[in-house]
Amino acid sequence: MPTSDDAFVHRVAEAIASGVAVEAGDGSAAIDTDTQRLDALLRGGDSVSGWRLWTNSQCLVTTRRFAATPRFADAALASTRRGWPVFVRVSGGTTVVHRPGILNASYFEAWRGDGGEVTRRFRIFCEHLATSIRSVGVSTCLGHVDGSYCDGSLNLVSGGQKLAGTASLVRRRGDTIGLLSHASIGVTGQVAVDVEAIERFEAELGFQPSYSEDVHTTLEQRLMSAPARADP
């Protein structure tokens, strides 16, 4: 039987893409599956456009830029010893958290033409997620959240707090454009623990992160703190 946390994750997944099973991932293999599926879609292989919904074991996911810094190996080892192994993704941004209680939503599509459609299609993805989250009772909009980790202009936001970060990856094969749109949605769990794990890792890289746990939230926290409102 699923735990109540698992049940809530599956409820949110059903709101996003009805009938798509939630995959339980484990570390780097779960992360790499996204890029592998995008590449397969561009090759015209077995992969098809559509949704992938998945969770991951507890880890930090950082960028190639951070992985290229001189202190990366030592910082990653220290983080792993604290229970937060570090893996590297191909998209940009800064470090994020994966763990049970965070639902990763990935959408794959390909089309013939130039890259002019990318921005519009990515925004449609983000707006669909916002609508889906509102359907489970949490008011949601898109925007920046000052003081959040891996901040972006199309975060999913509720009550001024960040529920999810979003990102995209674009690849081309001949005259075909492939787009991976992705979000990591905080459904349950302790955001203070997430923020501390990221701050310690990035500080050990030699940066000076200054994130606030107060500007992060989960769907569970939003449902517990206040009734749903018509506007975020």
Each residue's pLDDT, cut to its tens digit, for the chain (232 residues) gives 345 679 999 999 999 999 999 999 999 999 999 999 999 999 885 556 899 999 999 999 999 999 999 999 999 999 999 999 999 999 888 999 999 999 999 999 999 887 789 999 999 999 999 999 999 999 999 999 999 999 999 999 999 999 999 999 999 998 899 999 999 999 999 999 999 999 999 999 999 999 999 999 999 999 998 654 444 4
Active site residue 141: no
| Structure-block tokens of residue 3 | 């735990």
**C-alpha dihedral over 98, 48, 46, 106, to 10 degrees?**
-10
- b or e along 97-116 (b: 16 or more beta carbons within 10 Å of the residue's beta carbon)? bbbbbbbbbbbbbbeeeeee
56 located within any domain: yes
231 located within any domain: no
232 located within any domain: no
Residues spanned by the domain of 57 = 4-225
94 located within any domain: yes
| Structure-block tokens of residue 165 | 């970060």
57 located within any domain: yes
Catalytic residue (one of 59, 126, 141, 150)? 150
Distance CA 197, CA 184 (A): 16
End-to-end CA distance of the chain: 34
Q: Please give the tally of structural domains in the chain.
A: 1
| CATH number of the domain within which 97 lies | 3.30.930.10
